[in-house]
Structure 1
Amino acid sequence: MWKEEVRASGICEVPEGTTGDAIVAALAAGGVDCLFFTSGSEICFYQEAIAKAKACNRPAPRLIVMTHEHVGLNAALGYSAVTGKPSATAVHVDAGTLHHGAAIHTAMHAGLPIVMTAGHPPTSATGSSSGARNTGAHLWLQETFDQHSVVRQYVKWDHRLTAHDDPGLQVSRAIQVAASEPCGPVYLTIPPEVSMSPRRAHAFPTLSRLGKSVPPAPDPAGVRELIQRLLAARNPKLIVAGSGRNPDTVPELVELCQLLGLPVVHGATLSYLSFPMAHPLMQLDRDLSDADVVVALETDVPWMPGPSAPPDDAWVAVLGLDPIKGKIPTYEFRADLRLACDPLRAIRALREEADRAMRPSDHGKAAKRAEAAGRASQAQRAALQAQVPAIVSGAMIDPLQVGQALAKVLDERAIVLDDTLAHNRIPHFLQNEAPGSYFHTPGTSGGWAPGAAFGASLGAPDRDIVAVTGDGFYIFGTPAPALWAGVHYKAPFLTVVYQNRSWATGTVRLASMYPNGYAQRADFEGGYFDPPMDFALEAESAGAYGESVRDPVELEPALRRGLRQVRAGRPAVVSIWLPRHMHDD
């Protein structure tokens, strides 16, 4: 009843209590279901306020204990990705914020509503209040000149809560900014003098009262020009990457592309399933060199410069919430038309204009183009399968065999979180069609998968959650805290680890930058970590299931065993021994 009343009025009334009580009430009123919490003395108000809210039968976020902040922020990202809801983190002053680590970078690029909160060290004199510098010498060491500078270039908004602030309003404001398109992280710090301070009964506006911004529809003249260009095109291509963050875009984009006979390719970056992976219009080959019209929809990096880029005389349109990519300092990708717009509204506007403008001859041309695209897609998939070595007992497992096996064992219930590099070609093997069934790490920081998979399992408990990652990124992801959380909260997920004991950056990439250089002749020192950790044993130490696979014959059975464990409620890790980069062993 409380939620319905608050939603209807947009006003949340909080009884007499503390600022901490108001913060928790505002998170709940703003739609935050989960607070991913890593302990700190100045944020223990969350524990008290949430326990108090439960005892008093008042709404509060679920407090999710995270034993590492990096995993906690990635878990928030995974939860918000599968639910579409805002989530929040709570960490210990600057140290906990720094422990979020590169997940802060990932959050900036994910386009998800994340409220990062942290304690701020007290500055009140010892004995002046219950939240002052009373508990130890460390309180002096925690204060920095600008704690917010750690995250400021990665967030949309930041604020330090003060005694004269309305705490409910400030939390609602944080959620409003995070949840308005383009969505992104915000940062709120809370000193203990403030969180523990008493407050009278009061009311504050919630997110629904403040209101989220409505993303724009595309310019009608631009839509008309774009459709005319597509209808006249000889070989148009659509580039997708992030529009599937809104699941509603996927079926409507399929209808539009089928109507226009428009082939689809993934951009150089990829984050959300934006088009069914096995659809005949989806091309595995991203070559744009013969395209005469190129449309990039909600794509950060549409293509790699070079021989596969569009020709100079191709007409290029870019559509999305931020078509100039203002968060990227150097950005040279050209366009003849840039439309700032919501992807779903753009798809609908293009469909409406196509229905109006298409003549019978246009429909015939589109049908022929769709048939040709289907044949090309089929040939590309056949060529990929032909590259997969035959399964031979005792041979080394090939990375392509892993992708092929995953496609065989996963069904429509699976949600895949892909933290691998492009050469593993996971999206090319998968058959995922459902919106929200595939996510790729949205940034460039490895280590997203373990925490994100745990968060996804919390958000979609009836689905098979499968994380796929290389061993280097897996180590970056501090997996033990994620596995512990999965066991503790009965939020299971399967992690498939490509164990090649190598970093591609320090081997393959190095060799391309310094061909036959000194480092290559010295066997890539700095590129290998061999012998590796025993990831299966590590998983078992956390209470999860662990298995190591070295024989290709055991690859598919091992993946099925891991899935059975997950469906029985237990996290699982299947570590697959592969050749090292630039080596055959």
Structure 2
Amino acid sequence: MRNKSGESRSNAGIPEMPTLPNAVEDGWGSDRIARIIRELDLPFICLNPGASFRGLHDSLVNLLGNVRPQMLLCLHEEAAVAIAHGYAKVSGKPLAVVLHSNVGLMHGTMAIFNAWCDRVPMMILGATGPVDANKRRPFIDWIHTSRDQASMTRHYTKWDDQPASVEATEESLLRGMQIATTAPCGPVYIVLDSAMQEARHVGGAPMPDMARYKAIPSPSPDPVSLDAAVRLLSNAKSPVILSGRVSRDPKAWADRVRLAEQLGATVFTDLKVGASFPSEHELHAMPRGMFISKESLGKLQSSDVVLSLDWVDLAGTLKQAWPDGCPAKVIHVSVDHHVHNGWDMGYMALPPVDVRLAVTPEAAVPALIKALPASKRAYGKSPAKVAKGTGEGPITLKDIALTLREAVKGHDVCLSRLPLGWDGSYWPFEHPLDQIGHSGGGGVGSGPGMAVGAALALKGTNRLPIAILGDGDYLMGVTALWSAVHYKVPMLTVVANNHSYFNDEVHQERVAVMRGRPVENRWIGQRIADPEPDIVMFARAQGATAFGPVKSHAELAKTLAEAVAAARAGETVVVDVHVAAGYAPSTVAALTETKEVGSP
């Protein structure tokens, strides 16, 4: 069952230390740039190497000594961005990423889009061949130089720049960090001219005072709008809170609980974003999922005031409850409108809003607590609703959940990724790091990299990072695990292997039913079989500890217990579990209940 690469990884220490003494003074353009990057307090810089930033690479190693930031070598640019994404989801803080010229940027674009949709901060540094054509090497510098390179990702980054001097680059880095970390957060992209990096540059002004270039804090709510919100909530008979994009801050978590209890409000949460409210609290609507289930929809339909805390798709949710128009009063807390543009539709449909608090949830909730009367009663936990597994038949996602919960009993965990078929009742959440959400943009292949980034952020804590991935997501991004092994990042990945891109089987079945055609053909062009990719060998090829394939309930309990022990001992672990294809009912409904285009 178990196999671990026997090759020595003695050179994979943290950090990878230069073997010779470092330079002590700036002498080149990239030296000053590297020093500014250090001042930004970015602990890691994720990269796949490239000649367009060879000057900066040298400065990071031979001037800074590969410390603050430390390089994280990745086998693909998409993995580099995904790792930074996962790190930010846990910590709320950005990492740096470096992408090699236009080709590296093109590799990283899907992951950048995910980070954009997920509103996470990220400092992406690009590079280009010499802007001055007279300085370009034959052939290679020409194909790796693009005019307005940042235009490839401008629609899904918050800001970009291509500074023409070292001094301009310094300001660009300061501005980029400020923009990336100001809510709504997002990735920024700064292009460094390779010739500027490699030009002589001695001296310069003293290092800037970073305290003067911090993120712009969220303002307090407008008093008039706050008063209007308080009046609505104070008079509400059946208020609902839709808890969406919020921080991982435990204090903010406690504030949300306090606000819900003051109002006696039913709270909805969303698996697409991180845990934001205790799932077994008496006021929490269950089951929690990627979409609101029909089972809990009635609680929303009976509400008279809806308080949205940056809910990802407010209009869509309101329309699901009230197709003919929302009779409830709606209070919307969000600053997301600051990043909307016309290229992508991540702003969703336009919601009907009665009171808008144009601040972050973390700014609005304490203000509402202060203005509202105290809770008149005490609240407790709802009784657990998860039945025991049967231990018979094919393994399901529910079986994985129940067995894994038993294996980690007594330990704090972070579920860094859950598959679409997951039902929120499978696992209780009591802390904002218990679960950190999905991909943001729905890009398949992001799971392994984001899991590595989350595990990196949790390294050195007592919280065990666990990702439960589909086989399609895993296979697209598996080489990200090499970075986790190389840098000794403990983590557990469980591959729920149904040998299919099952999400699209569900869609094909829906189309077949709509058109009166055989649903038995839904698997064609979807099944990952004949041959079945060897999930375990893919993991071992990255140097990870691997178990499986697990095909029986008896194997499942034994293997997951051993895998958890290995991950807690510091290993990067993968378990291949063969599961029955299937989704939670709420997910199936959300995926298939779409308008029929072109139907008679």
TM-score range, shorter chain: 0.7 to 0.9
Structure 2 partner of 1:102: 110
Structure 2 partner of 1:22: 32
Judged with a 3 Å threshold, the aligned counterparts in structure 2 of structure 1 residues 227 and 262 are, in CA distance, closer, same or farther, namely: same
Q: Which residue of the other structure, out of 422, 436, 439, is the alignment partner of 1:439?
A: 436
Q: Aligned-pair distance for 1:406?
A: 3.1
Q: Distance in 1 between matches of 2:340 and 2:541?
A: 45
Structure 1 partner of 2:563: 562
- 1:47 to 2:57 alignment: yes
Q: Distance in 2 between matches of 1:338 and 1:541?
A: 52
* 2:371 maps to amino acid: E
* Partners of 2:239 and 2:263 within 8 A in 1: no
Q: CA RMSD in A?
A: 2.5
Structure 2 partner of 1:295: 307
Q: Structure 1: any 5+ residue segments left out of the alignment?
A: 1-13, 127-131
Q: Distance in 2 between matches of 1:419 and 1:445?
A: 14
Q: Distance in 2 between matches of 1:325 and 1:403?
A: 37
* Partners of 1:503 and 1:581 within 8 A in 2: no
- 1:259 to 2:272 alignment: no
Structure 1 partner of 2:172: 170
Q: Distance in 2 between matches of 1:264 and 1:519?
A: 41
Q: Aligned-pair distance for 1:59?
A: 6.2
* Partners of 2:269 and 2:275 within 8 A in 1: no
Judged with a 3 Å threshold, the aligned counterparts in structure 2 of structure 1 residues 196 and 557 are, in CA distance, closer, same or farther, namely: same
- 1:315 to 2:368 alignment: no
* Partners of 2:33 and 2:166 within 8 A in 1: no
Q: Aligned-pair distance for 1:533?
A: 1.1
Structure 2 partner of 1:4: none
Q: Distance in 2 between matches of 1:86 and 1:453?
A: 16
Structure 2 partner of 1:191: 193
Judged with a 3 Å threshold, the aligned counterparts in structure 2 of structure 1 residues 206 and 19 are, in CA distance, closer, same or farther, namely: farther
Q: Which residue of the other structure, out of 349, 355, 363, is the alignment partner of 1:331?
A: 349
Structure 1 partner of 2:524: 525
* Partners of 2:544 and 2:574 within 8 A in 1: yes
Which secondary structure state, in structure 2, belongs to the residue aligned with residue 202 of structure 1?
coil
Q: Which residue of the other structure, out of 354, 365, 381, is the alignment partner of 1:347?
A: 365
Q: Percent identity?
A: 25
Q: Distance in 1 between matches of 2:484 and 2:360?
A: 35
- 1:417 to 2:430 alignment: no
Which secondary structure state, in structure 2, belongs to the residue aligned with residue 199 of structure 1?
coil
Q: Distance in 1 between matches of 2:522 and 2:183?
A: 48
Q: Aligned-pair distance for 1:237?
A: 1.1
Q: How does 1:244-283 map to 2 (within 5 A)?
A: 244-267=247-270, 270-283=272-285
* 1:104 maps to amino acid: I
Q: Which residue of the other structure, out of 23, 26, 38, is the alignment partner of 2:48?
A: 38
| Between 407-416 and 270-279, the greater mean CA deviation after superposition | 407-416
Q: How does 1:44-443 map to 2 (within 5 A)?
A: 44-54=54-64, 60-125=68-133, 132-134=135-137, 136-163=138-165, 165-203=167-205, 204-267=207-270, 270-285=272-287, 286=292, 287=297, 288-302=300-314, 303-304=316-317, 308-309=321-322, 312-322=326-336, 326-327=340-341, 328=346, 331-355=349-373, 363-364=375-376, 377-378=382-383, 381-382=384-385, 385-386=386-387, 389-392=389-392, 395-410=393-408, 411-421=410-420, 423-425=421-423, 427-441=424-438, 442-443=440-441
* Partners of 1:237 and 1:294 within 8 A in 2: yes
Q: Distance in 1 between matches of 2:347 and 2:28?
A: 43
| Between 525-534 and 307-316, the greater mean CA deviation after superposition | 307-316
Q: Distance in 1 between matches of 2:338 and 2:133?
A: 49
Which secondary structure state, in structure 2, belongs to the residue aligned with residue 177 of structure 1?
helix
Which secondary structure state, in structure 2, belongs to the residue aligned with residue 576 of structure 1?
strand
Judged with a 3 Å threshold, the aligned counterparts in structure 2 of structure 1 residues 471 and 324 are, in CA distance, closer, same or farther, namely: same
* Partners of 2:304 and 2:329 within 8 A in 1: yes
* Partners of 1:419 and 1:468 within 8 A in 2: yes
* 2:406 maps to amino acid: K
Q: Distance in 1 between matches of 2:95 and 2:405?
A: 31
- Which structure's relative contact order is higher, taking Cα pairs within 8 Å and 6+ residues apart? 2
- Give a deviation string over 1:412-438, Cα, whole Å, max 9, x none: 4211112421x321x332223222331
Judged with a 3 Å threshold, the aligned counterparts in structure 2 of structure 1 residues 24 and 237 are, in CA distance, closer, same or farther, namely: same
Q: Distance in 2 between matches of 1:125 and 1:147?
A: 15
Q: Distance in 2 between matches of 1:151 and 1:556?
A: 45
Structure 1 partner of 2:5: none
Q: Structure 2: any 5+ residue segments left out of the alignment?
A: 1-23, 584-600
Q: TM-score, normalised by structure 2?
A: 0.83
Q: Distance in 2 between matches of 1:309 and 1:31?
A: 47
Q: How many residue pairs align between the two structures?
A: 536
Structure 2 partner of 1:573: 574
Judged with a 3 Å threshold, the aligned counterparts in structure 2 of structure 1 residues 533 and 225 are, in CA distance, closer, same or farther, namely: same
Q: Distance in 1 between matches of 2:486 and 2:478?
A: 14
* 1:429 maps to amino acid: Y
Q: Distance in 2 between matches of 1:493 and 1:438?
A: 14
Judged with a 3 Å threshold, the aligned counterparts in structure 2 of structure 1 residues 581 and 68 are, in CA distance, closer, same or farther, namely: same
* 2:415 maps to amino acid: V
Judged with a 3 Å threshold, the aligned counterparts in structure 2 of structure 1 residues 205 and 502 are, in CA distance, closer, same or farther, namely: same
Q: Distance in 1 between matches of 2:454 and 2:272?
A: 18
* Partners of 1:168 and 1:205 within 8 A in 2: no
Q: Distance in 2 between matches of 1:295 and 1:22?
A: 48
Q: TM-score, normalised by structure 1?
A: 0.85
* 2:566 maps to amino acid: Q
* 1:211 maps to amino acid: K
Structure 1 partner of 2:10: none
Structure 1 partner of 2:3: none
* 1:322 maps to amino acid: D
Q: Aligned-pair distance for 1:247?
A: 4.2
Q: Distance in 2 between matches of 1:220 and 1:404?
A: 47
Which secondary structure state, in structure 2, belongs to the residue aligned with residue 102 of structure 1?
helix
Which secondary structure state, in structure 2, belongs to the residue aligned with residue 44 of structure 1?
helix
Structure 2 partner of 1:11: none
Q: Distance in 2 between matches of 1:116 and 1:459?
A: 18
Structure 1 partner of 2:539: 539
* 1:87 maps to amino acid: L
Judged with a 3 Å threshold, the aligned counterparts in structure 2 of structure 1 residues 470 and 194 are, in CA distance, closer, same or farther, namely: same
Q: Distance in 2 between matches of 1:190 and 1:48?
A: 14
* Partners of 2:90 and 2:436 within 8 A in 1: no
